[in-house]
Structure 1
């Protein structure tokens, strides 16, 4: 199958534009500023174009550290999602709320910039915040909320996305490499067992994961569930039969609606242009980001599962249908304006397929794609920096 080119030069220009400014239609994304920084930095890493000077890296790292918050008692450290929310020093800082996801995006971005945050951040104070966001009782026991209230209790809705974010922060704070005795002495670790049980309770009968196990499964939540378990060292063979159903459900998320079957039917969810794409739920159209959520989930369950889907068709969909030849970047679908999230997930999908599957994929620009880590969703280069350079003293 002949594949179109990955427009690496335009992708680089697109990410660099997004790091400087965004169109007016994206002004409501200010509350996700650190997320946008993460998409751009690691997107550039994945195409081997993060060619910042030492001065530029220091400048970007300084900007991220400016989002850091230490609670009034000096017991917790975390990050706010945007400086727009920063309260003046004379204000009641109790309402300057840190955010779990912002902390994740900040740490990931600092890794891409080669900033050793172990020299600046107290990992135990970060983990005390993460622990305080975890529900300790009730039907949501083990889950996480995005912030804590003034009473120190988890505040806000909880779901599998926040479990993933919490377990990723734990990984970047290297709590998984501490001894059990060290973690007990600190008393700042999350309750790993209750988190695992919460994730497992969210598995639907179909094998996919949903908000509570009784509602419709979603491939984005399924990735968060599987990656959380992976980061916590869960052995998937303990529930082999159940996770085989997860595998099957994910494989069937690839859109392959033959025209001979649906072409003459008035089926509202059929679109020939979606061929090869992945969807998030049954009877939904294809979407760029689900290429990542589905195939990364398969890879985390077992790398050989990548070969159960047709990656040539998936690659063709991304490169020919959702890649913008004019602006660079990728949109949600062929009719959508490119955005940082879908551009990032498209590139990470292509990088995963090119470097980790046995299927033959050849297209112009492929040699620029770099290996990535599917658990933390960062480049392998950043993972190596975390492993070798980030060394906490205690």
Structure 2
């Protein structure tokens, strides 16, 4: 079995932020705050968050804040969106700096995006997707503001996106997809609503995502991709069906996607690395209890010690 090149992955992540003009940096410009969340969480899982200048990171995150509405943009000067607001809140939670937030304004922004049917729009333009239901519920839970939304309606909307195969889509009738399933299962777990899930039926659909090379895919007839090491496995763990896949084969698949010279993890072996797949590869290995990594919470997508601090601090 290959070994995890932890030190090289740390150097790769730190180098991404310094390179402002290369292709990876330019294509991520609109979602840089997501990239910061992926990179910083990876560093924390590798016990290396102290390699980052905390004050500088927090200062930049707060430059993405829109004090007129309470939401965060994907980069400085970009429009606010639920996807970016959750990443900002997660980053501040990593650093234990949620106190820099105007929690009332942020929770007002998030709750204001709930629609009459319980769904959530991503921003003022109105696109609806179960990803946004997860973002809203996870964000408000971290901020201890779940009372700001109609949780029952939010849960009912998510349940309405459940399909006959046990999976979930982005809207009612949408195709089951591993990424959407994580969003729906994560949101149901946070709200204490997993009784709505047929765990055996969903577990079967999810374990069928393991390919012959050991990796996991997002839906039938697709190639394996490292990012589904998170989307599929976290859902299986939440519904207690992770023992239905071959974990050692999945570990091998993730480790074979590393750039062993320069660091970083790609979607599949021998492809170009990026910070997105580096995070989901390391997070997947954390879920698989790979030695030396911090454990990660499968619903909140944050290290377990961070989640414990959020909810059990004395």
What interval of TM-score do these two structures reach, taking the shorter chain for normalisation? over 0.9
In 1, the alpha carbon distance for the partners of 2:108 and 2:77 equals 25
Aligned to 1:5: 3
Secondary structure at 1:378's aligned position in 2? coil
Distance 1:367-1:239 versus aligned 2 partners, 3 A rule: closer
| Pair 1:386 & 2:274 matched | no
Q: Contact 1:79–1:103 (CA<8 Å) still a contact in 2?
A: yes
Output the TM-score relative to the length of structure 2. 0.94
Q: Which of 221, 238, 250 is equivalent to 2:206?
A: 250
Q: Spell out, residue by residue over 1:191-215, the C-alpha distance to the aligned partner (whole angstroms, 9 max, x if none).
A: 2111111111111111111123423
1:384: how far off?
3.1
Structure 2: runs of 5+ lacking an equivalent: none
| Pair 1:343 & 2:278 matched | yes
Output the TM-score relative to the length of structure 1. 0.76
In the TM superposition, what are the counterparts of 1:223-372 in structure 2 within 5 Å? 223-234=182-193, 236=194, 238-239=195-196, 242-256=198-212, 275-302=213-240, 305-320=241-256, 322-354=257-289, 366-372=290-296
Aligned to 1:172: 142
In the TM superposition, what are the counterparts of 1:80-119 in structure 2 within 5 Å? 80-85=73-78, 97-115=79-97, 117-118=98-99
Q: Spell out, residue by residue over 1:164-217, the C-alpha distance to the aligned partner (whole angstroms, 9 max, x if none).
A: 1001111111124xxxxxx4xxxxx11211111111111111111112342321
Q: Which of 127, 132, 136 is equivalent to 2:107?
A: 127
Q: Which of 123, 135, 152 is equivalent to 1:147?
A: 123
In 2, the alpha carbon distance for the partners of 1:350 and 1:79 equals 30
* Greater Rg by CA: 1
Q: Contact 1:289–1:332 (CA<8 Å) still a contact in 2?
A: yes
Q: Spell out, residue by residue over 1:300-349, the C-alpha distance to the aligned partner (whole angstroms, 9 max, x if none).
A: 112xx2111100000111112x1111221111112421111111001011
Structure 1: runs of 5+ lacking an equivalent: 86-96, 149-154, 177-182, 184-188, 257-274, 355-365
